[in-house]
């Protein structure tokens, strides 16, 4: 799964994944590794560092099990190297993008201003690519 922050990637997975599937979502991992009362988004850099390490370990293990379960991985801005790895594994890339205006509205309502920079980078990187959007503008946020 890829798409800008606040696009609805986690919601897409919730609508499509089964209970037995493996879901690797950095936001969920960070929340699981954070103490009570920690924010759902805009996590502390130390918590995020630990969560990144856990995410990589989960990916390494889950990729060995792709023949037994479906693995859903959220990767907002995968590098060409990561995309090549996913392709070798036979992954299907799903892009969730309800459009820049909606994403920016959601970020303003729910996320830190740093996520605006991430979303801008995501859109700028895709300017030369054909738009492969999953319209989700009707979802109530």
Work out the average pLDDT over 113-133: 80
Please tell me the predicted confidence (pLDDT) of residue 94: 95
Residue 13: CB atoms within 10 A of its CB come to 20
| pLDDT of 133 above 70 | no
More confident residue, 134 or 12: 12
Please tell me the predicted confidence (pLDDT) of residue 73: 98
DSSP string, 14-68: HHH--TTSEEE-HHHHHHHTSPTT--SSS--HHHHHHHHHHHHHHHHHHGGGTTT
Name the token pair of 93.
């890339």
Give CA–CA dist 1/14, Å, rounded. 12
| pLDDT of 80 above 90 | yes
Q: How many helices (H) and strands (E) does the chain have?
A: 6, 2
Give CA–CA dist 141/121, Å, rounded. 23
Calculate the alpha carbon distances from 86 to 72, 74, 76, 89, 123 in Å.
Answer: 11, 12, 14, 5, 21
Phi-psi region of 66 (alpha: psi -120 to 50; beta: other; left: phi over 0): alpha
- Tens of pLDDT, residue by residue over 9-54, are 999 999 999 999 999 999 999 989 988 888 776 678 898 899 999 9
Share of the chain above pLDDT 70, in %: 89
Give CA–CA dist 128/123, Å, rounded. 10
Please tell me the predicted confidence (pLDDT) of residue 139: 44
| pLDDT of 56 above 50 | yes
pTM score of the predicted model:
0.83
């Amino acid at each position: 799964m890829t798409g800008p922050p606040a696009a609805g990637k986690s919601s897409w997975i919730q609508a499509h994944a089964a209970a037995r599937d493996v879901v690797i979502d950095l936001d969920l991992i960070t929340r699981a590794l954070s103490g009570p009362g920690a924010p759902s988004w805009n996590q502390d850099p130390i918590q995020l560092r630990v969560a990144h390490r856990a995410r990589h370990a989960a990916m390494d293990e889950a990729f060995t099990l792709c023949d037994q379960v479906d693995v859903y991985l959220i990767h907002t801005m995968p590098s060409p190297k990561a995309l090549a790895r996913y392709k070798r594994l036979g992954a299907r890339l799903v892009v969730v993008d309800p459009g820049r205006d909606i994403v920016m509205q959601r970020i303003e309502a729910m996320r830190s201003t740093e996520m605006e920079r991430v979303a801008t980078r995501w859109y700028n990187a895709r300017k030369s690519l054909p738009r492969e959007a999953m319209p989700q503008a009707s979802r109530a946020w």
